[in-house]
Amino acid sequence: MSTPRFDLVGIVVNDMAAALAFYRALGMDIPTEADTEPHVEVTLPGGLRIAWDAVSTIQSFDPDFQPSQGNTMGLAFALDSPGDVDDTYKRLVTAGYTGHKDPWDAFWGQRYAIVHDPDGHGVDLFAPLG
């Protein structure tokens, strides 16, 4: 029997184009023609995959599925410097995305900030402080 290996992060979205625009703003290379697809996958450096599914896609095989309220999934993006955290957070909030927690120096030694994607998922931005 093989051992399971972590391979994919899946995100359920209400508006595919809005969700993908947010992740493009974070620097992910996602083709614009994906905006109208019900399922989109991207392979990240290192082989991990990230996928977005429209609510209707999930409901096609799980008719009782209802998106939950609140922050039920989080992603974290590493940046090179504390200034990059501040700049990225500001750029996303200026672009109209919802800032949840302004950048701060976390007690665990990182510059940290949290912004929400269009579906309210928390997306953490971080870099080492020193």
Average pLDDT on 90-118 reads 94
Same CATH fold assignment for domains 1-62 and 74-130: yes
User: What one-letter code names the amino acid at 14?
Assistant: N
Tell me the pLDDT tens digit for each residue of 10-60.
Answer: 899 999 999 999 999 999 999 999 999 999 999 998 999 999 999 999 889
Q: What pLDDT digit, counting tens, does each position of 8-19 carry? A: 898 999 999 999
What is the secondary structure of the chain as a DSSP string? -PPP---EEEEEES-HHHHHHHHHHTT----GGGGG-SEEEEEPTTS-EEEEEEHHHHHHH-TT--PPSS---EEEEE-SSHHHHHHHHHHHHHTTPEEEEEEEE-TTSEEEEEEE-TT--EEEEEEE--
Whole-number percent of the chain with pLDDT over 70: 95
pLDDT at 68 (0 to 100): 75
- Euclidean distance between CA atoms 35 and 21, whole angstroms: 8
Looking at residues 62-72, what average pLDDT do you find? 74
Please state which architecture CATH assigns to domain 1-62: Roll (3.10)
Domain residues of the chain, as ranges?
1-62, 74-130
Q: Is pLDDT at 80 greater than 90 in this prediction?
A: yes
Which pLDDT score, from 0 to 100, does residue 72 have? 62
Instruction: Please check the confidence at residue 69 and state whether its pLDDT lies above 70.
Output: no
Pick the CATH number of 74-130 from 3.40.50.720, 3.40.50.1100, 3.40.50.740, 3.10.180.10: 3.10.180.10
Cα 57 from Cα 106, distance rounded (Å): 38
Question: Bigger pLDDT: 74 or 54?
Answer: 54
